[in-house]
Amino acid sequence: MIERIIAYLSNNTDAYFTMLQQHVGISLRVLAIAVLVGVSMGIVCVVYKKQQKWVVGFFQILRIVPSLAVLVLSIRFLGIGMGPAVTALVFLAVPPILMNTVAGLEEVPFFMLETSSAMGMTPLQVWVRVRLPLALPLMLAGIKTAMVEIVASATIAALIGAGGFGQIIFQGLSVRRTDLLLVGGISVAILALVMAYLVDLLERLTLRYKYT
Q: What is the pLDDT along the chain (212 residues), one digit of tens a residue?
A: 777 887 778 888 888 899 899 899 989 999 999 999 999 999 988 888 877 778 878 877 776 666 656 666 666 666 666 777 788 788 888 989 999 999 899 888 888 888 888 888 888 888 888 888 888 889 999 999 999 888 988 887 777 666 788 888 888 888 888 888 898 889 999 999 999 888 888 888 877 655 55
Task: Give Cβ neighbours of residue 99 (< 8 Å, ≥ 6 apart).
Answer: 42, 56, 142
Report the SS3 class of residue 163.
coil
Contact between 184 and 155 under an 8 Å Cβ cutoff? The reply is: yes
Domains, the chain, with CATH or none:
2-211 (1.10.3720.10)
pTM: 0.84
C-alpha span between 45 and 118 (Å, rounded)? 25
Write the CA distances from 192 to 29, 160, 172, 196, 198, integer angstroms: 15, 22, 20, 6, 10
